[in-house]
Amino acid sequence: NAGVTQTPKFQVLKTGQSMTLQCAQDMNHEYMSWYRQDPGMGLRLIHYSVGAGITDQGEVPNGYNVSRSTTEDFPLRLLSAAPSQTSVYFCASRATRALSYGYTFGSGTRLTVV
């Protein structure tokens, strides 16, 4: 099925460990973005990309790195995990045509840092 695929769905990390959250879409969307969702905070933008090779920071970028080498993939890297990064992470994408099609979200990754 066409859409946004996030892996893994669940992950437990120890403080200081690194990991990569994967995000892939097969809709040829140019725009991709990462969000974190914390209780009572809504979703906050971490990083976004408007095309392969182009990324930029969002509202809460500290502790996270991204790269976009292909249109399809937009991985999010945690270099040294901290308990404050315990959250649910969502990846989203959209096409460059009309916004009325909305942004398509992945199913999320629930990350716990102990």
Partner 1 sequence: AQKITQTQPGMFVQEKEAVTLDCTYDTSDQSYGLFWYKQPSSGEMIFLIYQGSYDEQNATEGRYSLNFQKARKSANLVISASQLGDSAMYFCAMTPGVSNSGYALNFGKGTSLLVTP
Site for partner 1, rule CB under 8 A: 31, 33, 35, 40-45, 48, 50, 58-59, 88, 90, 92, 94, 96-105, 107-108
Query: What letters, b where the CB count within 10 A reaches 16 and e where it falls short, cover 82-99?
Result: eeebbbebbbbbbeeeee
Min. distance of Cβ 80 from partner 1 in angstroms? 25
| Token pair for 6 | 């996030």
Q: Which is nearer to partner 1, 20 or 57 (CB)?
A: 57
Min. distance of Cβ 73 from partner 1 in angstroms? 17
Distance CA 79, CA 28 (A): 28
Q: Which is nearer to partner 1, 14 or 40 (CB)?
A: 40
- Paired strand residues for 112: 12
Residue 72's closest CA among 7, 22, 9, 12?
22
Q: Which is nearer to partner 1, 16 or 102 (CB)?
A: 102
Min. distance of Cβ 19 from partner 1 in angstroms? 20
Q: Which is nearer to partner 1, 26 or 59 (CB)?
A: 59
Min. distance of Cβ 43 from partner 1 in angstroms? 4
